[in-house]
Amino acid sequence: MTVERIVRIVAGFFVLLSLALGVEESPVFVHKYWLFFTAFVGLNLFQSGFTTLCPLAMILEKAGVKTGQKCA
Protein backbone atom coordinates (compact mmCIF):
# COMPACT_ATOMS: atom_id res chain seq x y z
CA MET A 1 0.00 0.00 0.00
CA THR A 2 1.28 3.45 -0.87
CA VAL A 3 1.47 6.64 1.16
CA GLU A 4 -1.23 8.28 -0.94
CA ARG A 5 -3.71 5.46 -0.38
CA ILE A 6 -3.04 5.37 3.36
CA VAL A 7 -3.56 9.13 3.66
CA ARG A 8 -6.90 8.90 1.85
CA ILE A 9 -8.04 5.94 3.95
CA VAL A 10 -7.08 7.60 7.24
CA ALA A 11 -8.68 10.94 6.25
CA GLY A 12 -11.90 9.22 5.20
CA PHE A 13 -12.00 7.21 8.41
CA PHE A 14 -11.46 10.31 10.56
CA VAL A 15 -14.21 12.22 8.74
CA LEU A 16 -16.69 9.38 9.19
CA LEU A 17 -15.70 8.84 12.83
CA SER A 18 -15.95 12.51 13.76
CA LEU A 19 -19.32 12.79 12.02
CA ALA A 20 -20.58 9.76 13.94
CA LEU A 21 -19.41 11.32 17.21
CA GLY A 22 -20.65 14.84 16.42
CA VAL A 23 -24.09 14.43 14.84
CA GLU A 24 -26.87 14.27 17.42
CA GLU A 25 -28.90 11.68 15.50
CA SER A 26 -25.99 9.23 15.60
CA PRO A 27 -26.23 6.28 18.02
CA VAL A 28 -22.65 6.96 19.18
CA PHE A 29 -23.09 10.76 19.61
CA VAL A 30 -20.71 12.30 22.15
CA HIS A 31 -20.66 16.05 21.56
CA LYS A 32 -21.24 18.45 18.70
CA TYR A 33 -17.69 19.79 19.01
CA TRP A 34 -16.44 16.63 17.27
CA LEU A 35 -17.53 18.36 14.07
CA PHE A 36 -14.54 20.69 14.46
CA PHE A 37 -12.33 17.64 13.88
CA THR A 38 -14.17 17.04 10.59
CA ALA A 39 -13.41 20.63 9.60
CA PHE A 40 -9.75 20.19 10.59
CA VAL A 41 -9.35 17.10 8.41
CA GLY A 42 -11.07 18.81 5.49
CA LEU A 43 -8.95 21.93 5.86
CA ASN A 44 -5.77 19.84 6.00
CA LEU A 45 -6.76 17.98 2.82
CA PHE A 46 -7.57 21.27 1.12
CA GLN A 47 -4.24 22.91 1.97
CA SER A 48 -2.25 19.78 1.10
CA GLY A 49 -3.79 19.90 -2.37
CA PHE A 50 -2.14 23.27 -2.93
CA THR A 51 1.07 22.94 -0.92
CA THR A 52 1.67 19.15 -1.10
CA LEU A 53 2.53 19.41 2.61
CA CYS A 54 0.85 16.61 4.56
CA PRO A 55 2.06 15.67 8.05
CA LEU A 56 0.79 12.09 7.82
CA ALA A 57 2.48 11.58 4.44
CA MET A 58 5.77 12.87 5.84
CA ILE A 59 5.53 10.46 8.81
CA LEU A 60 4.71 7.51 6.54
CA GLU A 61 7.57 8.31 4.17
CA LYS A 62 10.03 8.46 7.08
CA ALA A 63 8.64 5.11 8.26
CA GLY A 64 9.59 3.61 4.90
CA VAL A 65 6.21 3.32 3.21
CA LYS A 66 6.60 3.54 -0.56
CA THR A 67 5.10 6.39 -2.53
CA GLY A 68 2.96 5.74 -5.57
CA GLN A 69 2.08 7.55 -8.75
CA LYS A 70 0.76 11.06 -8.29
CA CYS A 71 -2.85 11.66 -9.24
CA ALA A 72 -3.21 13.12 -12.71
Q: What is the pLDDT along the chain (72 residues), one digit of tens a residue?
A: 999 999 999 999 999 999 999 999 999 999 999 999 999 999 999 999 999 899 999 999 999 999 886 654
Decide if 72 is inside a domain: no
What is the C-alpha separation between 65 and 62, in angstroms, rounded?
Answer: 7
Q: Classify 19 as helix, strand or coil.
A: helix
Sign of CA dihedral 30, 35, 36, 38: positive
Decide if 36 is inside a domain: yes
Decide if 31 is inside a domain: yes
Q: Within 10 A of 18 (CB to CB), how many other CB atoms are there?
A: 20
What's the number of domains the chain is made of? 1
For 33, the domain range is 3-62
Residue 72, pLDDT score? 42
Decide if 68 is inside a domain: no
Decide if 71 is inside a domain: no
